[in-house]
Chain A
Amino acid sequence: MLLLGGIGRAGRLSASVHRRRATRMPANPEPAGPSATLPPRAKLAVTAGKVAAAVSRTAGRGSGSVIGGKVALRLDPDLLRSLAENLDVVLVSATNGKTTTTRLIAEALKAAGPVVSNALGANMPAGITSALADGSDARFGVIEVDEKYLVGVAKDTAPKAIALLNLSRDQLDRSSETRMLAERWREGLQGTEAVIIANADDPLVTWAASSCRKVVWVAAGQAYREDAWSCPSCGGVMQRPGEDWFCPSCGFRRPQPHWALQGDHVVDPQGSGWLIQLQLPGRANLSNATSSAAVAAVFGVHPQIALQRMQAVQAVAGRYESVQFGGREVRLLLAKNPAGWLETFTLIDQPPAPVVLSVNALSADGTDTSWLWDVDYERLVGHPVFVMGQRKLDLAVRLEVAGVHFQVVDSLAQAVAAAPPGRIEAIANYTAFQQLRRDVRG
């Protein structure tokens, strides 16, 4: 049907499609969707964890050589190297959860000695250098690292341990492609002396870690799977029965985990379970705590002690913080990418809890809002939803298509005034979250 001067042939719309073909398509053999719920975790087979013993502290830590006062933020690799020299360094990288996990690990390691950390999420070399300069008498340096800088920071700081939590799509208009990041990790970390603590449930993380010599595998779970259908090794289509995954084409498969998150317990390499009690909500934080316990064990901190210490962690840089605003309780939740939104939806109060969504598209957020369509906003059906932020109209179209009832507002105050009773869950992406934090402080 060639289109010239008009669309199609004249005809009236009927509620059925005119069949042009007689054959009927076979039923879709298998849905490709991500959200099938998994059967309960089978009993974990654990291999003895021999890795922790391999790591010992370096002696000769000095405290006098650290440059006092303000460190110029101009990037100086030698400075970072000399600052790190006297520390047992732990690096933490991931698409999501690295700030919180850095905080959890820092708390756990305080059981073994003083800790310096870039707790506020300044995760590029200059910010890391500045944070380390403040910790002259620390034994441990627990450092969150931006995914793109991990390899370089690992070369400069000679870490004892590196925690790799997850990788998924994030700000594709300005970031590397996700698999490219995994490949950069894989190539750059190959010769490292560090113990790698890696999420065995994330195929891209597994791919990145599997060329390293000392790896502690953690079954920390993976909620968002849309970047993990293609085998990072050969491109085959990944099979994911239950919690397992493997590539039928090349045999790349999920390694046997040493540690596992099982319900709300950490199962250690001896097979003992330890209850996780956090003030932080959500499955993602149970996962972060599991990886943190595995890191702490590398330095001889028992999981029970580590988890007890993690319990003290409340809001991290304002994330998960409940505040009073306009006479109402508002909980501030940060979600920066599809995986982060998915995890956030699982922890918010049940409908009809009111939900505020705020999305910006400044360069720190990514200027492309297409990712909104990779988020299952359909999950908000039943909640009264208020949308705000610079890109509230993108959200409005997204929610309209998702069949979610929503109201477009100009400010948090307006949303709070219009919200029905209940704690208000306010979910925002990066700069929108910073704005919310300023809003609630008045």
Chain B
Amino acid sequence: MSESALRLVWVYPDLLSTYGDRGNVLVVERRARQRGLDVARIDVRSDQPIPTSGDIYLLGGGEDRPQRLAGERLRADPGLGRAVENGAIVLGVCAGYQIMGHEFIDDMGQRTQGLGLLDVWSTRGEGARSVGDILAEPDPRLGLPTLTGFENHQGVTHLGQGVSPLARVSVGGGNGTGDGTEGAWRDTVFGTYLHGPILARNPSVADLLIKLALDVSALPPADNTWYDALRAERIAAVQQPAQ
């Protein structure tokens, strides 16, 4: 592992890796290597300390009980907070998104403290679980195309003043607050409900994370043939649900 490698930290694969979000790690790794970067992937199990010197941190979705356990262990470990203070890039999905907020509802129905890395808090939705394909238009400042993904959550996430919505939902539930928002972001910290995984469905988001980590405004082009084909198919399928 060279000193100059992009350090990609996968937070708690033993707890937060249930809905295919491991794909986010694989996509960032692949797309960085395709640009000639060395990548040092660091998988941190929940009985290990979170390194403070990573460049990109990825947190995935997990079931309710693992989410509580992950929250407890991350709260007891200052690593991720320090990394964010250092300017590290973080993407949390579903349970990983909720944990980054001020609080969430755990598997026993209790309000549980999160990490406070994003000014959001999550409650449990009253209605049906949000399950299905989702389309959303990202915050224009991010310079991203339409987001496509798959959501599967009961939680509702409320946004405070300290964050912006990641996107506006055109199909699906998103944050579930009724205002059409999906996800949240602030500086270099991003949260979303999108599985799919999000970075496989939206490689431009993977590139955004890499650009932020490198502090560059552009990357050499990558072959997006299959990503583009998949995106076009999913976007069309969602806009025209099966007859």
Contact = CB atoms under 8 A, between A and B. Distances in A.
Interface string A1-12: 111111111111
Contacts of A411: none
A149 to B, nearest CB: 21
Identify the 8 closest CB pairs spanning chains A and B, nearest first. A370-B20, A373-B23, A16-B4, A229-B14, A373-B20, A237-B47, A393-B230, A25-B51
Contacts of A14: 214
Q: Does more than half of chain B's interface fall in helix, strand or loop, or is it mixed?
A: loop
A368 B195 contact: yes
B12 to A, nearest CB: 9
A175 to B, nearest CB: 11
A16 B3 CA distance: 9
Contact of A5 (B47, B141, B197): B141
B20 A396 contact: no
B26 A177 contact: no
Interface in A394-408: 394, 396-398, 400-403
Contacts, number: 188
Nearest to A227: B18
B66 interface: yes
A43 interface: no
B45 A8 contact: no
A20 interface: yes
Contacts of A12: 216
Q: Does more than half of chain A's interface fall in helix, strand or loop, or is it mixed?
A: loop
A367 interface: yes
Contacts of A15: 4, 36-38
B217 A7 contact: yes
B211 interface: yes
Contact of B212 (A7, A13, A28, A373): A7
Q: How large is the interface on A (under 10, 10 to 19, 20 to 34, 35 or more residues)?
A: 35 or more
Interface in B100-151: 131-132, 141-143, 150
Q: How large is the interface on B (under 10, 10 to 19, 20 to 34, 35 or more residues)?
A: 35 or more
25 contacts: A1-B212, A6-B217, A8-B212, A11-B214, A16-B4, A16-B37, A17-B37, A20-B86, A25-B7, A28-B48, A177-B18, A230-B15, A235-B66, A367-B132, A368-B19, A368-B131, A368-B195, A370-B197, A373-B21, A373-B22, A393-B226, A394-B230, A397-B200, A397-B226, A398-B200
A169 interface: yes
Nearest to B36: A15
Given A11-B215, A374-B22, A32 B45 contact: yes
B23 A25 contact: no
A371 B22 CA distance: 9
B20 A2 contact: no
Interface in A380-420: 393-394, 396-398, 400-403
Interface of A: 1-21, 23-33, 169, 172-174, 177-180, 226-227, 229-230, 235, 237, 367-374, 393-394, 396-398, 400-403
Contact of B42 (A20, A25, A180, A403): A25
B19 A370 contact: yes
B214 A18 contact: yes
A13 B30 CA distance: 17
Contact of A17 (B6, B26, B64): B6
B118 to A, nearest CB: 14
Interface in B55-98: 55, 63-66, 69, 86-87
A8 B43 contact: no
A14 B142 CA distance: 22
Contacts of A177: 18, 63-65
A319 B84 CA distance: 50
A19 B30 CA distance: 21
Contacts of B200: 373, 394, 397-398, 401
Nearest to A13: B216
